[in-house]
Structure 1
Amino acid sequence: MLNVYENVPKFENENFLLRMVSNSDIDSLLKVYSDKKSLPFFNSDNCHGDTFYYDTMEKMEKAIEFWLYSYQEKYFVRWSIIDKSTNKAIGTIELFHRDANDYFTNTGLLRLDLASDYEKESIIEDILNLIISDTYELFYCDKIATKAISTAIERIQALRNCGFISTDNVLIGGDGTKYHSYYVLERKLIND
């Protein structure tokens, strides 16, 4: 079985490529993370106050440096989402295995950050479908959870189209903070 912390797989379809984030993405990701229209859709729950708003090259460079360090320490994996029509990063997907004393244990927690121009139902669904089925094996989990605030209409519909359902369960942060607005996709066990 593939160990995602030894070899990060690439995922692609005709429109998008998911590959490990790289310093070469700084320019295009700076446009994403400095876009104030995108900011409300980013999931910064339990991130020690980081809102993922990076409006300078230096801040973006430090963020990527931290993401690469976190991968080396096996905290999470962050893929850049490359739009094949422009060959530019238009966002990122972060995934990690979460064990906790709440509903969201044995969960692959997925954070999807996109440029505001790409916050569209069909695009989100296209991107999620690249990685969802492999998440359970890569992150040894029985469910995938991701956040979508109530105003993220396009994102919510894309999640529903992919089989996610809204949950009233709260994610409890390391400091006891309660986080809401999560959608969950449970692994379907197939009986042969």
Structure 2
Amino acid sequence: MIKDIYEQCPVYKKNLITLRLTEIKDAEDLLKCYSDEKAVPFFNSDNCNGDDFHYTTIERMKQAIDFWDFSYKNKYFVRLTVVLNDTNEKVGTVEMFHRIADDEFNHFGLLRIDLQSNYENKDVISEILDIANENFYEAFEVKEILTKTFSDATERTASLVEKGYYPINRKFMIYDDYFVRSKKGNI
């Protein structure tokens, strides 16, 4: 029986990273990510009401985490902290949700990956994608996962392709640069 991720959020562990529910105590470490000007262009802020996720104060970071907690409790999305296993440093977050919309991407999962620029690399991204591929289809009851890359995100794009994602070659809503992976492989 599938447990409801919104009732009890699992901890997902790989060799380099662990993903676990974001908590307010992560704010100081996460501010290093969200204030990183080199990282901001790689944050997926599509359809986020103008929030670019560039936070420069601990107060603003805590407000974001409070909103993520509110969203989790109301079953809108899950925001997980990316923790380095060797150092326990929190280097970014991952957001995932089951999308309900009146379009061709209805019931797709949407995965957002925000990482400090030092960790926007193939090793970390590949482990995030491994966790998503192994767990998120069932946890979020989706058959496809959408995620965004960027023209300058060469390691992210390479990781996506290596892990079975491919470009949708059309707009997602009004946005470009989305890749998709089906639970069964190519759609």
Give the TM-score taking structure 2 as reference length: 0.95
Q: CA deviation at 1:103?
A: 2.7
Matches for 1:43-122 after TM superposition, within 5 Å: 43-122=44-123
Separation (CA, whole Å) in 2 of partners of 1:182 and 1:91: 20
Equivalent residues, number? 184
Please identify, of 108-117 and 120-129, the stretch whose mean Cα deviation from structure 2 is larger: 120-129
State the 1:130 CA deviation. 1.9
State the shift of 1:88 in Å: 1.3
Equivalent residue for 1:175? none
* Structure 1 contact 27–57 (Cα < 8 Å) conserved: yes
Q: CA deviation at 1:179?
A: 0.9
The alpha carbon displacement at 1:133 in A equals: 1.9
- One-letter amino acid of the structure 2 residue matched with residue 25 of structure 1: D
Give the secondary-structure state (helix, strand or coil) at the position aligned to 1:44.
Answer: coil
Where 1:60 maps in the other structure, the secondary structure is: helix
Q: Is the 8 A contact 1:25 1:88 kept in 2?
A: no
CA separation in 2, counterparts of 1:153 and 1:14? 22
2:180 corresponding residue in structure 1: 184
- Tell me by how many angstroms 1:15 deviates: 1.4
Q: In the TM superposition, what is the alpha-carbon distance from 1:22 to its structure 2 partner? A: 0.5
Distance in 2, Cα, partners of 1:135 & 1:144: 8
Superposition deviation, residue 181 in structure 1: 0.6
Cα offset for 1:5? 0.8
Cα deviation code 1:15-52 (max 9, x no counterpart):
11110000110110000000000001000000000000
In structure 2, runs of 5+ residues without a counterpart are none
Conserved? CA contact 1:94–1:110, under 8 Å: yes
Q: Secondary structure of 1:79's match?
A: strand
Residue 131 of structure 2 aligns with which residue?
130
Question: 2:94 aligns to what SS in structure 1?
Answer: strand
Q: Supply the distance in 2 between the matched residues of 1:95 and 1:101 (Cα, whole angstroms).
A: 19
For the 8 Å contact 2:94–2:113, the answer to whether it is kept is: yes
Q: Residues 149-178 of structure 1: CA distance to partner in whole angstroms, max 9, x if unpaired?
A: 111111000000110001123222xxxxx1
SS for the counterpart of 2:48 is coil
5 Å-filtered alignment, 1:159-170, equals: 159-170=160-171
1:96 counterpart SS class? strand
Equivalence for 2:43: 42
C-alpha distance in 2 between matches for 1:108 and 1:58? 30
Cα shift readout 1:50-108 (whole Å, capped 9, x = no counterpart): 00011000100000000000001110000001001110110000000002222321111
Report the residue type matching 1:46 in the other structure: N
Q: CA separation in 2, counterparts of 1:158 and 1:63?
A: 28
**CA–CA distance in 2 between the matches of 1:151 and 1:86?**
28
User: Pairwise CA RMSD of aligned residues?
Assistant: 1.1
